[in-house]
Amino acid sequence: MKKFLMVLILSPGLCLTASRAQDKNKGATVSPPVTDTAKKKPAGITDKVKSSRKFDGLFTLYQDTATGTVQLYVKKNQLGKEYIYQSFSISGPNQLYLNQSMHRATLVFKVQKAFDKLEFSRVNTRFWYDRNNPVSKTAEVDKPEAVFLVEKTVAEDADGYLINADGLFISEKLDPVKPLLLPGPNTMTIFNLGNLNPAKSRYANVRSFPNNSDIVVDLAYDNPAPFNSGTTDITDARYVRVRMQHSLIEMPQNDFRPRRDDPRVGYFLQYINDQTSISPVPYKDIIHRWHLKKKDPSAALSEPVEPIVYWIENTTPNEYRQIIVDAGLKWNEAFEKAGFKNAIQMKIMPDDADWDPADIRYNVIRWVSSAQPTYGAIGPSFVNPKTGQIIGADITIEWYSGSATPVLDELFNTTAPAGKLQYPGMDPQHEANCTLAGELKSQLLTGMTVLDASGASANEVKEMHKQFLIYLIMHEMGHTLGLNHNMKASQMLSPAEINNTEITHKIGLIGSVMDYPAINIALDRSKQGDYYTTKAGPYDLWAIEYGYTPFSEAEEAAGLKSIIARSTDPKLVFGNDGDDMRAPGKAMDPRVNVNELTSDAIGYAEDRFKIVNQTMGKLVPKYTKEGQSYAELRTRYFTLLGQRYSMMAAISRYIGGIYIDRSYPEQKSGVKPYTPVPLATQKRAMDMLHKYVFAPDAFEADAQVYAWLQPQRRGFTQNGSGDDFRITNTTLAIQADGVLSHLLHGVTLQRITNSRLYGNQYSVASMMGDLQKGIFSADIATNVNVFRQNLQTYFVRQLASMIAPQNQQFDDVSKAAALYTLKKIKTQLSTAVSTNEETKAHRANLSFIIENALEQK
């Protein structure tokens, strides 16, 4: 059941970029013991590099032309200096986040000399000390050194030292490459790489420039006895070669000033603690942003000295290039609010370009079609951990169809990595992935199915498609500008406004392109407005204004304060992944959520249920096509099911929800930080669930489709237990995972009780009583259909497990309500009228479960 849902509804993930904390005062470093080599005559390096090609740049590298081996020359004036390290995967298993353009480890390192060796160590950047405070003298205390490599020098001359670089680059010292699998019953059967085989590994490319040196390596892994052969991109699980790029980057020397983070606006950030502060919140967190400087500092609007340039990779289909250019340039409106004209430039990579998209000096929007897409699109950037300055960015779009019905199979065959992978030594949030394209694609397919099934023209479908792509590009670009998600932005307009293009063409459909909204489909097709927002919303303009408006050091605090003071404007509402309620029991503000739309998400969801039910009847006639199997019909049906799931999940979160307000007292928002959702709204959500999720006829429309849900046979890939569609399992999974697992979650129930103490008027007992009515009353005097049998049994089982004495997940108020509800069900069942054998059997089973539950000690 769970497995099915994972395939059916793209498992939501997080969009994160590398975030590593930073900053410590310079000058407080402890010198290692250094041998006095000055007395000896340096041996010289000429002899050691005579058969090598030299790469001059930030670091000088020598590659032996016969063996390929690389030697690294470290100048004496580079010792003790800090450098940035950034790794990228260029080609490897998607499942392990080793596919193209993944930005992986970011760290600061330095090289020091100790006796006849060079020591490479990481610098801890998570603390800040006020130099005027004597406590800063302890800056080095209890922060153990992280030496990741010690290499003996093979030669030296007056200016520096030569070492063999294989230990640094043909190794996992800098980037751990493969995830750490925690010991457990499944460890052996999860796909992973074996051991690095240096003999089979090699250098693929070496580049060195004044500010960076890039070393591209092919790391070979051997796993003699793999228990898991991986997905179809893995040719042979025993032998997997991964292409990685190590980039050594000079610490930028410029006048970039870090900008402080604020909880009311959503930037990616570096977490830094002020160790000399007595504040209750000793945070010195700084945001990720580009270094933009006005050409003309006195002008209100000026071009930047260096614009942010994005290159569209030459692998991008021609018909999409102009759309991507236009989408990117739409961000310029936001930068104008910050005083910059033409801050964003979009260029197309020539077919005969002599540079590589992996060259970190270029920000590239890449277009790929991989065997096992896991993410859809990503928009990662990498930063100077000490300042938050974004140094480079790449966007990868993984989508490969120009037809009106794109990649249906891809949507349902996606293999997501099992949980979050752990990489030792790397930030746990390094994945830098974004599931937006997957979520959006699911929404897009619904839109296309609805339009297609109701006979819309090809042009109309094409327009929807175009809006989708613009939204996707703007969203991923927003990440590369430093913005994280704003899952509250889709609340900006009311249902009455959402299809009014006079409004939406002016300010957009939603406050920000950084949301995962439901596609906008009008129930009344003649009223259809835009499907997606295609411009930076009010929140986006404001967020860029906060992050990028230049201020003098003296004016910055007041300037930022006046910008952030506007956070109470309803168009600027913000809530990121940490606050969103996509998973059962997660977070608390139902307005911060994915796959919903408008300030009346409940009412909007009702329209969507109606659209789904209406479309069901059109599926069989529309997708019974000559010359093809029923696979497409089945896929279209799944899309609509996924839509139902999203809507019921969105509605359910209003029950027991708490509205969050993060404004500061001086903003006088008139709203308390926490306000329980009004009783009437909670009741309305419950009524909606009764009607569209629990009612005996909630899934009636689907009966028109069931007998046609046949996948296409391919070889011997039929499900071993039959390839028919598991109707009852699926329906129950949707009802249980989408709704009941949230409403009966220990955390939700405890919050309902706690919030009763500051305004919530809906008790756990009342809520469970309403569930009981919705799940039992409609057919208590008649026979019970199979959907309701499953639902009633599930509900009773959940209540029974809640009252088990050994169950510690629930507080006593919840346990009491569960017991009380079970007793009410028992009484209600005693009045039931069953005429057929099936219903009698079902009710006998319910009574049996209840009796057993009530008797347990």
- How far apart (Å, rounded) are the C-alpha atoms in residues 308 and 481? 9
Among residues 436 and 541, whose Cβ is nearest to Zn ion?
436
Binding mask 418-457 for Zn ion (x = CB under 5 A): ----------------x-x---------------------
Q: How far is the CB of 232 from Zn ion (least distance, A)?
A: 27
Instruction: Read off the tokens for 276.
Output: 């000399």
Among residues 218 and 476, whose Cβ is nearest to Zn ion?
476
Strands 117-123 and 146-152: antiparallel
Q: State yes or no: residue 249 binds Zn ion (CB under 5 A).
A: no
Cβ count within 10 A of residue 404 = 15
Among residues 175 and 431, whose Cβ is nearest to Zn ion?
431
Based on C-alpha coordinates, what's the Rg of the chain?
30
Among residues 334 and 436, whose Cβ is nearest to Zn ion?
436
- How far apart (Å, rounded) are the C-alpha atoms in residues 9 and 1? 12
Phi and psi, residue 253, nearest 5°: -110, 100
Phi and psi, residue 410, nearest 5°: -55, -40
How would you class 406 by CB atoms within 10 Å of its CB: exposed for 0-12, middle for 13-18, buried for 19 or more?
Answer: middle
Among residues 15 and 107, whose Cβ is nearest to Zn ion?
15
Q: How far is the CB of 491 from Zn ion (least distance, A)?
A: 18
What's the residue count for the chain?
857
Q: How far is the CB of 475 from Zn ion (least distance, A)?
A: 6
End-to-end CA distance of the chain: 31
Among residues 393 and 846, whose Cβ is nearest to Zn ion?
393
- How far apart (Å, rounded) are the C-alpha atoms in residues 369 and 289? 30
* Sole window of 8-16, 191-199, 326-334, 840-848 interacting with Zn ion (rule: CB under 5 A): 8-16
Q: How far is the CB of 477 from Zn ion (least distance, A)?
A: 10
Binding mask 786-815 for Zn ion (x = CB under 5 A): ------------------------------
Among residues 15 and 803, whose Cβ is nearest to Zn ion?
15
* Sole window of 15-23, 95-103, 227-235, 728-736 interacting with Zn ion (rule: CB under 5 A): 15-23
Among residues 268 and 659, whose Cβ is nearest to Zn ion?
268
Q: How far is the CB of 737 from Zn ion (least distance, A)?
A: 23
Beta-carbon contacts of residue 83 (< 8 Å; ≥ 6 apart): 58, 108, 109, 110, 248, 249, 250, 251
**Are the C-beta atoms of 351 and 342 separated by less than 8 Å?**
no
Q: State yes or no: residue 324 binds Zn ion (CB under 5 A).
A: no
Q: How far is the CB of 479 from Zn ion (least distance, A)?
A: 6
Among residues 473 and 752, whose Cβ is nearest to Zn ion?
473
* Sole window of 13-21, 132-140, 247-255, 321-329 interacting with Zn ion (rule: CB under 5 A): 13-21
Give residue 272's Cα distance to chain centre.
Answer: 23
Question: What's the per-residue H, E or C state across 326-347?
Answer: HHHHCCHHHHHHCCECCCEEEE
**Are the C-beta atoms of 497 and 474 separated by less than 8 Å?**
no
Q: How far is the CB of 512 from Zn ion (least distance, A)?
A: 11
Among residues 15 and 408, whose Cβ is nearest to Zn ion?
15
Instruction: Read off the tokens for 802.
Output: 């809640």
Judged by CB under 5 A, the chain residues 674 through 713 that form the site for Zn ion are none
Judged by CB under 5 A, the chain residues 80 through 119 that form the site for Zn ion are none
Beta-carbon contacts of residue 673 (< 8 Å; ≥ 6 apart): 660, 661, 662
Among residues 267 and 787, whose Cβ is nearest to Zn ion?
267
- How far apart (Å, rounded) are the C-alpha atoms in residues 259 and 496? 39
Question: What's the per-residue H, E or C state across 99-152?
Answer: CCCEEEEEEEEEEEEECCEEEEEEECCCEECCCCCHHHHHCCCCCCCEEEEEEE
Q: How far is the CB of 379 from Zn ion (least distance, A)?
A: 7
How would you class 411 by CB atoms within 10 Å of its CB: exposed for 0-12, middle for 13-18, buried for 19 or more?
Answer: buried
Among residues 394 and 737, whose Cβ is nearest to Zn ion?
394
Residue 15, CA distances (Å) to 425, 595, 815 in order: 20, 15, 37
Size of the site for Zn ion (CB under 5 A): 3
The one-letter amino acid code at 532 reads Y
Q: How far is the CB of 95 from Zn ion (least distance, A)?
A: 20
DSSP codes, 59-87: SEEEEETTT--EEEEEEGGGTT-EEEEEE
Q: How far is the CB of 411 from Zn ion (least distance, A)?
A: 18
Report which DSSP code applies to 295.
S
**Are the C-beta atoms of 548 and 338 separated by less than 8 Å?**
yes
Among residues 17 and 834, whose Cβ is nearest to Zn ion?
17
Q: How far is the CB of 204 from Zn ion (least distance, A)?
A: 31
10, 15, 292, 390: residue in contact with Zn ion (rule CB under 5 A): 15
Q: How far is the CB of 789 from Zn ion (least distance, A)?
A: 41
Q: How far is the CB of 640 from Zn ion (least distance, A)?
A: 25
Binding site for Zn ion (CB under 5 A): 15, 434, 436
